[in-house]
Chain A
């Protein structure tokens, strides 16, 4: 069998591995890790957009973020990335189908199929 024929055959076979065959969803824990990595990167160059502005832009806040908004603390203390201290993030980064159910929590949203 001439070499170029073998090559042609492999081109054909590998092209059969089309996108549809790999049209699979990323695991939720991968999305969670990517999200955490992006937030970490964003925080390296300064604070995130405040939660007040986030809400003003039409995004919902999770129950913990909402609670902090009514707490008698300064604006600066109201906008850290609270997820760093939240069990939902930890579970979502390590488990598929993590048992977390908060509304407006990104880590919960990543779990939805």
Chain B
């Protein structure tokens, strides 16, 4: 009970700090603006980086866009959520926009790639491996994939977007998205099985 009360007090304090900072940034106080950047860039960067890996330069641009968008709508911040959560919400929109634009405009890999047979052995990724190694390997394999495959997999399996949602957002048919996903999975699996640990 005491711990709960302490948490509530801390949350209230955080909200008060957030509101104070927001008020100063809205007054265009340059030092408060620096504090705003200093306090929240790491969280937003970490969030975005994970979703557009391995494209670091894309992450950097999206984080900047998220902060500029945050400034443009900062007057609407009411303190209902923490400033960090509010910023991450904006970052999520930016990431979604990026997935949508890239999948809509980029050239999809040739479907001839589908001709490679699916491995008949039990995939190596079903084996038990250390979680940290798994993370590293997943990142490495994603980095080797064509961008379209990487993005569609991240959008589907990390952001948990359905094929229907992705189709609506990109202006493609659901069938086309499902075919793209199938090819992306196939490439991912092949690369995984050849990547070692």
- A: residues with CB less than 8 A from B are 1, 3, 6-7, 9-11, 13-19, 21-27, 30-31, 33-35, 37-39, 41-42, 46-49, 53-54, 57, 59-60, 81, 104, 106, 109-110
Contact = CB atoms under 8 A, between A and B. Distances in A.
Contacts, number: 131
A109 B38 CA distance: 8
Nearest to A104: B31
B38 A110 contact: yes
A30 B53 CA distance: 16
Contacts of B99: none
B29 A26 contact: no
Given A16-B135, A34-B64, A11 B157 contact: yes
Given A6-B185, A17-B138, A30 B31 contact: no
Given A9-B125, A38-B37, A22 B50 contact: yes
Interface in B114-128: 118, 123, 125-126
B29 A57 contact: yes
A3 to B, nearest CB: 7
B194 interface: no
A30 B41 contact: yes
Given A11-B157, A24-B45, A26-B45, A110 B29 contact: no
B134 A16 contact: yes
Interface in B32-46: 32-34, 36-38, 41-42, 44-46
Interface of B: 24, 27-34, 36-38, 41-42, 44-47, 49-50, 53, 60, 63-64, 67-68, 71-72, 118, 123, 125-126, 131-132, 134-135, 138-139, 153-154, 156-158, 160, 182, 185, 188-189
B50 A54 contact: no
24 contacts: A1-B123, A7-B185, A10-B156, A15-B158, A16-B134, A17-B135, A18-B135, A19-B46, A19-B50, A24-B46, A24-B49, A26-B41, A26-B63, A27-B60, A30-B64, A33-B64, A34-B64, A37-B68, A41-B71, A47-B28, A49-B28, A54-B30, A57-B32, A106-B34
A59 B21 CA distance: 12
A14 B46 contact: no
